[in-house]
Amino acid sequence: MIMGIIFIGILGLLIRRNIIMKLLSLDIMGTGVVSYFVYISSETGTV
């Protein structure tokens, strides 16, 4: 699920030509990366 969000962000960066849509895709990708970090830290118990 989280990797899917990151992939959607990367796909949006590659496909979209509009700069606003590229910024939105970059934000979606950033949200996926932060979610991945939270998931990893919750699994290992480190913060």
Count of residues making up the chain: 47
- Average pLDDT for 19-44: 95
Which residues does 2 contact at the CB level (< 8 Å), separation at least 6? 32, 35, 36, 39
- What pLDDT does 19 receive? 96
- Average pLDDT for 12-19: 95
- When pLDDT is cut at 50, 70 and 90, the band that residue 47 belongs to is low
Note whether 25 and 13 are within 8 A (CB). yes
